[in-house]
Amino acid sequence: MDLQRIGDLLQPFLRNNVSSVSLSDTGFAIPTALSKEQLQQLSTYLDLLLHWNARINLTAVRQPEEIVTRHFGESLFAARHLFPSRQTETPKNLIDFGSGAGFPGLPIKISVPELELILVESNQRKATFLREVIRRLNLHGAAVFSERAENLDIRADTVTLRAVERFEKSLPVAAQLVALNGRLALLIGDAQIKSATELITEFKWVKPIRIPRSENRALLVGTAPA
């Protein structure tokens, strides 16, 4: 997909983080939140996803523009809120629990390259896809853990979770991967918000943040106790 079109589709998810736009040497405006290189990485990622999705079920969304808005946009929206400024110290690592096709972990890594990323995905075919994306995008500091999350002996400053099966069973496992004072960031539907706060009562939850262009999805962030 044309880089300008990707940038245009992502604007609603990045708008509050964009103070101006700059004209690149290609002649089109690039939001300051995403460089030309980052847009190219997203374009390559999209191409790989479309190609692999014809063979294995990575996403039920088939239209490229809908993939950009629903998957890339939502993931980058989370990145904007979780890492709003380079003026403050960026947490060192992020675990994406049940990563599937790589959302939200890979777009967050593209947006915040300095993060150390672990994608937890026990499905071997999906894990192979994730490794291929990391290789093709030349993402340093990104790895795939293709076993059950319970076997991971690392704790992260930020743990993300989106669109996992058996949400009520998966959530406590994801919470155990959060370091002291770390954050658990959930991209979930409204119906799951109450369940999340009732299941993980020891976390301090902030008010859910509505995701642009969605009627019933939100970003919910909780902080683990010290």
Q: Which residues are CB-contacts of 20 (< 8 A; sequence separation ≥ 6)?
A: 32
Among the listed residues 137, 134, 118, the one whose alpha carbon sits nearest the alpha carbon of residue 179: 118
Mapped onto helix, strand or coil, the DSSP state of residue 207 is coil
Cα dihedral across residues 82, 189, 182, 91: positive or negative: negative
The 10s digit of each residue's pLDDT in 48-69 is: 999 999 999 999 999 999 999 9
Number of domains in the chain: 1
Q: What letter represents residue 84's amino acid?
A: P
- For the entire predicted model, the pTM comes to 0.91
* CATH code of the domain containing 211: 3.40.50.150
Name the residue range of residue 82's domain: 3-223
Nearest 5°: the CA angle 101, 145, 10 is 30
pLDDT digits (tens, 9 = 90+) for 158-200: 999 998 889 999 999 999 999 999 999 999 999 999 999 999 9
